[in-house]
Structure 1
Amino acid sequence: MDIPDEDLPSVSEAAHAVIREAKAAGVYVFGGGINEDVAPLMIAADGTITNETYPQTKEFDGGFCVLELPSREAAVQWAAKIAKSCRCSQELREFQYDPES
Structure 2
Amino acid sequence: MAKYLLIMRGTDESNAAMMADIDEMMATTREFIEEMIKAGVLLAAEGLDDPGKGVVVDFSGETPVVTDGPYGETKELFGGFFLLDVASKEEAVEWAKRVPSARGSKIEIRRVPGSDEVPQVDK
Q: 1:95 aligns with which of 112, 116, 119?
A: 112
Quick check: 1:63 aligned with 2:80?
yes
Report 1 or 2 for greater relative contact order, CA contacts < 8 Å, sequence distance ≥ 6.
2
Q: Sequence identity of aligned pairs in percent?
A: 25
Letter in 2 for 1:16: R
Task: Flag structure 1 segments of 5+ consecutive residues without an equivalent.
Answer: none
After superposition, the Cα gap between the structure-2 partners of 1:47 and 1:18, relative to the gap in structure 1 and judged at 3 Å, is farther
3-state SS of paired residue (2:98): helix
Q: 1:23 aligns with which of 37, 41, 51?
A: 37
Distance 2:117 2:38 in 1: 28
> What's the offset of the Cα at 1:91?
1.5
TM-score normalised over the length of structure 2: 0.61
After superposition, the Cα gap between the structure-2 partners of 1:90 and 1:71, relative to the gap in structure 1 and judged at 3 Å, is same
> What's the offset of the Cα at 1:61?
3.7
Task: Flag structure 2 segments of 5+ consecutive residues without an equivalent.
Answer: 1-13, 119-123
Task: Let me know the Cα RMSD of the aligned residues.
Answer: 3.0
Distance 2:75 2:114 in 1: 27
Moved over 6 A (4+): 53-56
The structure in which a higher percent of residues are strand is 2
Which position in structure 2 is the counterpart of 1:3?
A: 18
Larger radius of gyration: 2
Letter in 1 for 2:66: T
The structure in which a higher percent of residues are helix is 1
After superposition, the Cα gap between the structure-2 partners of 1:59 and 1:95, relative to the gap in structure 1 and judged at 3 Å, is same
